[in-house]
Amino acid sequence: MKYVVILIVIASLGSILYGFSIHEEQVTLGKKYIGFGTVGIFLVAMPIFLYKESQGKKMKDYMLTEENIKKMRGEESEKAENQ
């Protein structure tokens, strides 16, 4: 999966660079290449990457809840030490 994301990013960057290189001769086609490259990076590669990296992680650990606020302040550890 990692190599698929890398391949999509490289192809998208190549498309963007090619679009900029032909932009002066063929404006419409250049804009299409630039647009497809941008779509490839942000709407294809990034969601695949985020899905792959977030597997096995608990979303509760990243949410701002009362429990996590107390952990950040160190209140929970102080109560455990005092008992």
Per residue in 45-75, pLDDT tens? 999 999 998 888 888 877 888 888 888 888 6
Number of domains composing the chain: 1
Higher pLDDT, 34 or 71: 34
Q: Which of 77, 74, 72, 10 is nearest to 41 (CA)?
A: 10
Kindly tell me if the per-residue pLDDT of 77 is higher than 80: no
* Structure confidence at residue 59 (pLDDT): 81
Rounded Cα gap, residues 13 and 10, in angstroms: 5
pTM of the model: 0.69
> DSSP label at 63?
S
> Domain limits at 49?
2-82
* Pairwise CA distance, residues 3 & 11, whole Å: 12
